[in-house]
Structures are given as C-alpha cells and as structure tokens.
A and B are shown apart, each in its own frame.
Chain A
Amino acid sequence: MKQYDIVIIGGGPAGLAAAVSAKKNGVDSILILERDKELGGILNQCIHNGFGLHTFKEELTGPEYAGRFIDQAAKLDIEYKLNTMVMDIRADKVLTAMNREDGLFEIQAKAIILAMGCRERSRGALNIPGYRPAGIFSAGTAQRLVNMEGCLPGREVVILGSGDIGLIMARRMTFEGAKVKVVAELMPYSGGLKRNIVQCLDDYGIPLKLSHTVVDIKGKERLEGITLAEVDSKGRPVPGTEEYYSCDTLLLSVGLIPENELSNGMGVEMNPVTSGPKVNESLETNIEGVFACGNVLHVHDLVDFVSEEAAAAGKNAAVYVKTGVGKRSGGHDIVLKAVDGVRYTVPVTINPEHMEDSITVRFRVGNVYRDCYVSAYFGEERVIHRKRQIVAPGEMEEIKLTKEQLMQYADLQEITVKIE
C-alpha cells in the first residue's frame, strides 16, 4: 500500500490551497485526489470575473484564479491524480480510490484534508409539484453546459432561488441569447451577494421577486411553463397570487449542500446546521489528523476565503504530521456558541494553547438585520461589539480572536456569538 503524509480529497480551490500551504510548511509527501479530469474544481466553469480581489488584489476569472494555484502546485511538485474517485476512507486513514489507470487502490495517509466541496440542492429536495419534463436544471449544471460544452439549455428562462450561481447564470443566459424572465426567491431577502444582484439582474433589467416560489411545473416532454406564487411568512404559497410564466427552462439555485458522504462514512462528527464537519481551531475534525476546509466544511460566498481557510488547514495538517500524534495535550477547549440570529460558527471549539496568534471565526446569520451589533461574549463579559449597518444570510460574517486576548481569560469555557 502506498503511503503519504498528507492526502487531500479534492483538487478544487480548497484542496489546492491546502496542498500549497502544507508543502510550504515543510511536508513533502502530499497527494491530491481529484475526481474530475482537471484540477481547479468548480472554478473551471466559473468564467465570469470577480475572483481574487482579496487574495491577489486583482479581478480574475474562475479559471484564472484556479490557474494561479495550479501553477503554484506545479512549481512545488505536488503530486496529484485526476479522474480519481475516492470510494471510502477508514478512520485509520486508509483510503480506497479508483481510476482508469490504477484500478482500485488503497493509500495510507498520516493526515487527511477533506476538500470535496459541495453539490446543489435539486428540484426533488424542494419537492416542487408538477410534471418532470426536460428543461429543469440546477444552475451549476446549466453553467457547465453553457460554459464548458457551449450548449444552450434553453431560450426562455425562469430562475428559482437567488443564490450566487443563479444570479450569475441569469446574466450568462442573457449574454448567450436567452431571455431571463424573472428570478424568484422564496425568502424575503436574496441568498446571494449584493454585488451580484446589481451586476447580474439590475444591469439587465431582470426582475427579482422576493417571497415567491414555483408552485407548478407544466410540460410533459420539454418544460412549457411554470406557475409562481407569493408565499406567506412561513413560506406557504398564498392562494390567488399565482402567476403563469411560459418558459422552456427552469434553473434552480436553491442552496448548496456540502458533500460529506466520505466524512460520514469514516465517522466524522457533523454540524447539522452547516452539514459540514465540526472542527476545532486547527480545522481538525473529531478524528485526529483529519482536517476539513472549503465548501465541504461550510458553504462560502467567496473563493478568497476558501483559499485562506484551506491554507490554514494545510498548515495545521503539516504541523500535525511533523509533531506527530498526541501533540494535542495541554490547554482546554473553549466552546463557541451561536445564538440570537447567528446560525453557526466555524470552528466550534478553540483551544488557546494550540491556536495561531489570531483566528478568524466565520459564521452566517439567519435573517436580515439592520443597524445591529455583532457581539462576542467571553462568558458573561461582552468583549466584541461591532456596529453593522446590515447583515444578511447571503453574506458570510467573521470575527477575529487573538491568542493574547484568549489567554487573558484563564478558565474561559464558552464564547457566545450573537447579533444584538
């Protein structure tokens, strides 16, 4: 059985940044396993620009952004296998994988970084009633057909869900000659970034209907039309508000789900809110030496933050490999609690002994809040109290904690993050 110090599952932005960082932190024996035919993950089909503003201080397309990391990985001689599907990971870090060239093979890893990304919620998961004709796509599938295959999925389009991919696809479909009639969003607020609403809908006169959903799908072979209705505060359609739109295409951008089937299989403990692993300050799961980063951990808005998070995971995995098992003694875990409008935090625990000088705690809120404060309480004491004009579920939030700060609270058990 082949052995590697660090095996990274996924060669998308998270896996690449983790690999580069692990290598720079002194580990040579690294292998990336990628199921697609090239590195870069979903960025390869994201041909729009807007990537890299934080990381590279310039505006790149998805493939360009991925290219920067692929180049770095190449310069650092990081080993990878393409078209390779990981079938199973055991808790003792033996992976079973498969590809055309090697057939079925096993690898023993000292550390594993989970970077499998996420998938889109489907029509089925929403249980939208109606017929099941051709012409209903998740926004990402349509994006692949248009951007990678040059195929136009349809000519008259309705989009359900205002997630970022849906917004980007509204603009893309318009560019390619389709008519996007409306974007409907179940919630009273958009799930995407504000800048995408402006640049992808407003600039092209595409209406966004908040608090609306699809209540019927018509067409037996190819989609013929859909019925939209307004929903009440509990998300139930309001009778009498139905409005029919003829269209041959319905794109769904209704949420992303971290792909944690492998993590579940090896016994990684999950956070039901994020559907991603529960991790500590080192982005390490409940299984020692197994780390997670990127969209498999929690769904991000910006790839720049994925890269940043993944670099931390890569570094921590390198430290783990070099110090060896059992280094995590000393200190104690402080539990992070998400309450009052904060849905979750990543990480869920921090051990000040093991953390870097500072740590970024990322979270999302459950609703739109205006003129509010993002607060963190160390036990009973309010330590962070930051004024915000607006926070929204579509934009990830963060607070920074320093080691110095935490060390001042010797017996601190709990930090509460909330919106006030």
Chain B
Amino acid sequence: MFDYDVMIIGGGVAGAASARELSRYKVKACVIEKEEDVCCGTSKANSAIVHAGYDAAEGSLMAKLNVRGNQMMEELSRELDFPFKKNGSLVICLHEEDMPSLQTLYDRGVVNGVKELRILNKEEVLEMEPNISDNVYAALYAPTAGIVCPFSLNIALAENANVNGVEFKFDTEVEDIKRIDGGYKLMTNRGVYQTKCIVNAAGVYADKIHNMVSEKRIHITARRGDYCLLDKSAGGHVSKTIFALPGKYGKGVLVTPTIHGNLLVGPTAIDVEDKEGTNTTREGLDLLIEKAGMNVRNLPMRQVITSFSGLRAHEDDHEFIIGEAEGAEGFIDCAGIESPGLTSCPAIGEMVADIVSKKLGLQKKEDFIATRKGVLDPSTLTKEARAVLMKEKPAYGNIICRCEMVTEGEILDAIHRPLGARSLDGVKRRTRAGMGRCQAGFCSPRTMEILARECNMSMFDITKSGGNSKIVVGTNKDTL
C-alpha cells in the first residue's frame, strides 16, 4: 500500500545529500521538489563557502556537523566530481579592543575540533593578502576553509542518488500531510502519495511542513542575504575568503573568490516575511558595498556582473533540527539548515540516512555506485585529449557561451544526463553558460534553440526556471 519507504521533501543540498546517503541502502525513495529542478532555493544563492567550523556554538549539532562536513568535502568532491578548493579563510579584526572576540573564535574553533587555526598579526595578514585594509590589526587564519560550487555539489548529490535508484518528482508541491497507519499520506498538486517515512528538507518551508504533523511547532524565518558577483578579472583581488569579525559595527560581509574565479561580496541579513522574497534592494546592495570596503581595499565594484539574493532558513534557536519530530513517528526533520548548511550537508546526509535506515531497518546495497562524473569541461583536458574529443564529438568544438567558453557539447551533456537540465537556469547551473560577464545576452537564444531541439519543445515552452518564467510569449505580429 505504500508508494515509497521514504519521501524526501526538498531537492536542495540537505535533501539531495540525504537522498544520496539513503541510496546506499535497499530502499524505495523519492525526492519531491516544488521547483522544476534541484538546487532552486537556498542552495543556489549563498556564499558557496566551506566553513572551517569556529562559528557555531561549542557542543552544538551545528558545530559537530560543520566540522565533519568540512572534513568530508574533499573526498566527496573527488567521488562526485564537483569543484572544491581549500583556499583558507581570514577573519579580519580591525581594532585592538576587538581582540577578545577574535580569541573567542579561535578558542571555540579549537573546542569544535578545527585544525590548524592561527592568529596572524598585521604584517602576516598583509603579506598573505595585500588587498586587506591597512587598518587591519590581526586575523584568524583557518587553512581548512574552502570554496565550492554549490550548484555542482547539489546536482552531483542528486544525480548520484538518482543513479542509485532514488526517484525525483519536480514541480510537485506538498499541500498537506496526514498521518496514516504505519506512515503518512502526502497530498500534492500532482497527486497523493503514501510513504512510511518523510524527511523534511524543505528549507525555508521546513516549519510549514513540520507543523503539518507535529504539535511541537517550529518557526523558520527567511533571512535574506544580498550579494554582488564581480567579473573574473576581479577574481584575484583576494585569494582567501575574507570575513569580518562581528564587532561594534555589527556583522560584516565577506569577500571571497569563487571556485570559478569570480569575486563574491555579501551577504546582508534582512528578515523577510515572504518565503519567496528573493528580491535585492537598493539599501541592501549599498550596505554591502559599504561594509565590504571596510576590510578589503580598492574593491573594483564597477566590475559587478550581477547581484542576487538568497534566503537563509533561520530557525529561532539558530540550530540544525535533525531527528524525528515530536509526536510524529517516522517524520524526520532536517530543518533550520542555514549557514554552515552547505558545508555540513555531507554530514547531514549521513545523519539523516542513519536515522531513517535504523527506523526502517534498511539493509545496505552491494551495488551502490559511489562515484559520478560531472559535466565534462573540455578546458580541463590536455590539448591532445581535447582534439580527440572534438573529433569524436564535434559539438565540443562549438562555443555557445562566449564569456565562459561553454561548448554545445557541454550543454548537450547537461541536458541528457540523469536529472538533466530543462530550462536556461538548469543549463546555466550545470555548465555556467550564461553565467559570465554578458549575463546570457549572446548565448540565451542559442541555448534556447538547443533546448528546444534536444527536448522536443517549442521555443515558446522554454523557460528561464520553470513555471511561468517563459522567455518568449509568442510570434511576431501574432496579435495584429
């Protein structure tokens, strides 16, 4: 009578990591996602940082999973072939009187199990990062911090779960959940499903989902963070992730190179009512530009190529809620996953899978496929290997996105792989086509043509990101 052993609500990093870890077991599992693709909420718009682990309170679940996730990330990036780099981070202290706060971070890091932490003096900081403000007094250096491609991480986890048998249902929104004997009934816009277990990885909506089944309410606030992304020509401005020390000027913003060589500045922190309220504001953007300049000098803000905002799923107690919800057997929360959620996701997946497998008494599979290959980036090949590839598949000789030098071959790969791209944003997150300095001006009509051809869609059905986000609305003169 049950459609699934477990249904995971949400295809962000927490849901995808849980799905991937669960797919190690003999289990009938399904991820349901209200958007048209994985990685459409908090997971797609964040700082893309792999935190070292000195921020979260000692003894908290957040601290434990952060440090564990950080330790797992490198190995995972090799297994699942997504870009990750340990570039290290600096927390900048500008004033001598703030040194106790820096020391607190250091001490907390040590307690949390963060390795190799060091406090650097001004000279050491400036030698390491010449573009740090001259006002720097000291900094906390964490060599274990890193940067990751959040899209690739999320997509890799989901693809690997899918290859290992987890189903994915997109454009499927949970409307209600009812308790039934031995499990739950999920009412969605696309039908009713019965499942023994539920994993609630619904991001900013995790409170809404949780409160459908549990008397003990939780509350998640959507906390918006605005970001500016700068051109790759500015990507070398700093080499490490530069954090501000929270001090008398409030919480600062970070400046970091991205894994693809851009420079990222942000985020702000503004609580919003609307759980879809991902609109940037003038005040937010102005504020972050002002704050970023305090720690890093001569930021080339004229080189901004885009700005965006993401919503953190902030739980009232600022702690991850992972475990069976009170009074709701078999309903496993994976809620309050805000920073360091991206870092922690491998460990979150492990923990969720452990809980669910024990609950259902699952057995491990013998034929689990632990590795996955990402979309092949021909620029990573030797000239000879690239020449061979182009001979076999001429589409790799056809550049579609000029700014990021993305070939038709990569776009075809992104469309035809498991959980392939169906929209411009889907292609963009998998290949970077449209993510460069012209922001899809040149390539979007060409990518649309490829999508239409390969997916047997009409140009009029192509969307930016599913739903009603159609790119074109009709043909010339169709109303005349």
**Chain A residues close to B by CB (< 8 Å):** 35, 83, 85, 87, 98-104, 119-120, 122-125, 127, 129-134, 138, 140-141, 144-146, 148-155, 175-177, 215-218, 220-222, 237, 248, 264
Which residue of the partner chain, among A99, A145, A221, contacts B397 with CB atoms under 8 Å? A99
Q: Which residue of B lies closest to A133 (CB)?
A: B469
**Chain A residues within an 8 Å CB radius of B475:** 150-152
Max chain A C-beta neighbours (<10 A), residue from B284, B391, B471: B471
Consensus secondary structure, chain A interface = mixed
**Inter-subunit contact B387/A140 (CB<8 Å):** no
Asked if B376 is at the interface of the complex by the 8 Å CB criterion, the answer is no
Q: Decide yes or no: A103 and B285 within 8 Å by CB, A127-B304, A221-B469, A222-B470 being known contacts.
A: no
Least CB distance from B395 to A in Å reads: 7
Contact B445 A119 (CB under 8 A): no
The residue from A98, A103, A177, A221 contacting B476, defined by CB atoms under 8 A apart? A177
B323: min CB distance to chain A, Å: 33
Roughly how many angstroms separate A130 CA and B281 CA in the complex, as a whole number? Answer: 6
**B383, CB-defined interface residue at 8 Å:** yes
Provide the bound-state CA to CA distance between A264 and B464, in Å.
32
Please, which residues of chain B bring their CB within 8 A of the CB of A221?
463-469
Q: Is the CB of B387 within 8 A of A222?
A: no
User: B477 contacts A145, CB within 8 Å?
Assistant: no
Q: Which of the segments B8-16, B347-355, B357-365, B435-443 contacts the partner chain? A: B435-443
Binary interface profile of B, 276-310, with partner A (CB < 8 Å = 1, else 0)?
A: 10111110110000000000000000001111100
Query: Contacts A122-B306, A129-B279, A217-B279 given: A134-B471 contact, CB under 8 Å?
Result: yes
Most chain B CB inside 10 Å of its own CB: which residue of A98, A149, A237:
A98
- Interface residue B480 (Cβ < 8 Å from any Cβ of A): yes
- B478 A152 Cβ-Cβ under 8 A: yes
Going nearest first, the 5 A-B pairs with the smallest beta carbon separation are A124-B306, A122-B439, A134-B464, A151-B472, A103-B390
A264 to B437, CA, bound (A): 15
User: In the complex, what residues of B have CB within 8 A of residue A149's CB?
Assistant: 445, 449, 459, 472
Q: Which residues of A contact B445 (CB under 8 A)?
A: 141, 144-145, 148-149
Q: With A and B bound together, what is the CA distance between A194 and B399 in angstroms?
A: 37
Question: A124 with B229: in contact, given A100-B395, A177-B480 (CB under 8 Å)?
Answer: yes
- Identify which of B278, B399, B477, B480 contacts A35 (C-beta below 8 A): B399
Q: What are 5 pairs between A and B in contact, CB < 8 Å? A: A98-B399, A122-B441, A149-B459, A150-B475, A152-B478
Residue of A nearest to B463 (CB): A134
Chain B residues with Cβ under 8 A from A124's Cβ? 229, 304-307, 439
Asked if A133 meets B438 with Cβ closer than 8 Å, knowing A35-B399, A104-B383, A150-B476, the reply is no
Decide: A134 and B281 in contact? CB cutoff 8 A: no
Contacts of B386 in A (CB 8 A): 103-104
Report whether A141 and B460 are in contact in the complex, using a CB–CB cutoff of 8 Å.
no
Instruction: Identify which of B441, B460, B478 contacts A140 (C-beta below 8 A).
Output: B441
Are A176 and B405 in contact, CB atoms less than 8 angstroms apart? no
Contacts of B402 in A (CB 8 A): 35, 85
Q: Does B394 contact A (CB under 8 A)?
A: yes
Residues of chain A lying within 8 A (CB to CB) of residue B279: 129-131, 216-218
In whole angstroms, how far apart are the Cα atoms of A35 and B398 in the complex?
9
A129 touches B284 (CB 8 A): yes
Complex Cα–Cα for A216 and B285 (A):
12
A142–B319 Cα distance when bound, in Å, is 46
Q: Bound state CA distance, A264 and B477, in angstroms?
A: 43
Nearest-CB distance from B437 to chain A (Å)? 8
B100 interface contact, C-beta 8 A: no
Q: Which residues of B contact A248 (CB under 8 A)?
A: 473
**Would A131 and B476 count as touching, CB distance under 8 A?**
no
A99, A101, A104: which has the most chain B beta carbons within 10 Å?
Answer: A104
Question: Is B479's beta carbon under 8 Å from chain A?
Answer: yes
CB of B444 closer than 8 Å to a CB of A: yes
* Contact indicator A152/B476 (Cβ below 8 Å): yes
Interface status of B59 (Cβ within 8 A of chain A) = no
Sample of 14 more A-B contacts, CB < 8 Å, known A129-B282, A132-B308, A152-B472? A83-B398, A104-B386, A124-B439, A140-B441, A149-B449, A152-B474, A152-B475, A154-B473, A177-B479, A220-B276, A221-B465, A221-B468, A221-B469, A222-B468
Residues of chain B lying within 8 A (CB to CB) of residue A146: 476
Q: How far is the CA of A146 from the CA of B445 in the complex (A)?
A: 11
Which of A140, A151, A155 is most buried by chain B, counting CB atoms within 10 A of its CB? A151
A85, A131, A140: which contacts B278 (Cβ < 8 A)? A131
Contacts A129-B281, A129-B284: A152 and B397 contacting too (C-beta < 8 A)? no
CA distance A127 to B479 in the complex (A): 34
Instruction: From A119, A124, A218, name the one whose CB has the most chain B CB atoms within 10 angstroms.
Output: A124
B228 on interface, CB distance cutoff 8 Å:
yes
* Chain B residues with CB under 8 A of A217: 279
Q: Which residues of A contact B460 (CB under 8 A)?
A: 151
Q: Which residues of B contact A216 (CB under 8 A)?
A: 279
Check B468–A85 contact: CB distance below 8 A. no
Contacts A104-B390, A122-B306 given: A127-B228 contact, CB under 8 Å?
yes
**Contact B398–A100 (Cβ < 8 Å):** yes
Cβ contacts under 8 Å, A215 to chain B: 282
Within the assembled complex, what's the spacing in Å between the Cα atoms of A58 and B431? Answer: 46
Task: Please name the residue on chain B nearest to A96 by beta carbon.
Answer: B383
B476 touches A176 (CB 8 A): yes
Cβ–Cβ contact B276 & A100, under 8 A: no
Kindly list chain A residues whose C-beta atoms are within 8 Å of the C-beta of B465. Answer: 134, 221
Chain B window 14-52, contacts with chain A (Cβ cutoff 8 Å), 1 for yes, 0 for no: 000000000000000000000000000000000000000
Separation of A138 and B438 alpha carbons in the complex (Å): 9
- Best-surrounded residue of B306, B307, B395, B467 (most CB of chain A within 10 A): B307
Given the known interface contacts A100-B395, A127-B304, A153-B472, the answer about A119 and B284 at a Cβ–Cβ threshold of 8 Å is no
Nearest Cβ in chain B — how far from A27, in angstroms? 28
Please give the distance in Å from B68's CB to the nearest CB on chain A: 34
Q: In the complex, what distance in Å separates the CA atom of A234 from the CA atom of B276?
A: 33
Q: Please tell me if the beta carbons of A85 and B399 are within 8 angstroms of each other in the complex.
A: yes
For A122, the chain B residues whose CB sits under 8 A away are: 305-306, 437-439, 441
Contacts of B308 in A (CB 8 A): 132
Interface centre among B285, B306, B439, B466, by most chain A C-beta atoms within 10 angstroms, is B439
Known contacts A103-B391, A104-B387; A151/B459 CB under 8 A: yes
Give the distance to chain B from A354, nearest Cβ to Cβ, in Å. Answer: 33
What residues of B have a CB within 8 angstroms of the CB of A102 in the complex? 397
**CB-CB nearest in chain A for B397:** A100
Q: Determine whether the beta carbon of B479 is less than 8 Å from that of A155.
A: yes
Which one, B228, B282, B470, B476, contacts A237 given CB within 8 A? B282
B residues less than 8 Å from A148 (CB atoms): 445
Q: How far is the CA of A134 from the CA of B472 in the complex (A)?
A: 9
B residues less than 8 Å from A87 (CB atoms):
405
**Which single residue of chain A is at the shortest CB-CB distance from B408?**
A100
Cβ–Cβ < 8 Å partners of A264 in chain B: 233
Cα distance, A150 to B464, chains bound together (Å): 19
A104 and B398 alpha carbons, distance in the complex (Å): 11
Cα distance A336–B228 in the bound complex, in angstroms: 37
Contacts of A218 in B (CB 8 A): 279
A175 CA to B282 CA, complexed, in Å: 35
Residues of A within 8 A of B387 (CB): 103-104
Contact check: which of B233, B440, B464, B472 meets A145 at CB < 8 Å? Answer: B472
Return the chain A residue nearest B301 by Cβ: A127
**In whole angstroms, what is the CA distance A264 to B463 when docked?**
35
Please give the distance in Å from B474's CB to the nearest CB on chain A.
Answer: 5
Neighbouring A residues of B276 by C-beta, 8 Å: 220
Query: Known contacts A130-B280, A151-B475, A153-B471: does B441 contact A138 (CB below 8 Å)?
Result: yes
Q: Which residues of B contact A98 (CB under 8 A)?
A: 390, 397, 399
Of the candidates B228, B282, B402, B466, the one having the most CB atoms from chain A within 10 angstroms of its own CB is B282
A119 to B440, alpha carbons, bound, how many Å?
11
Contact of A99 among B398, B449, B466, B479 (CB under 8 A): B398
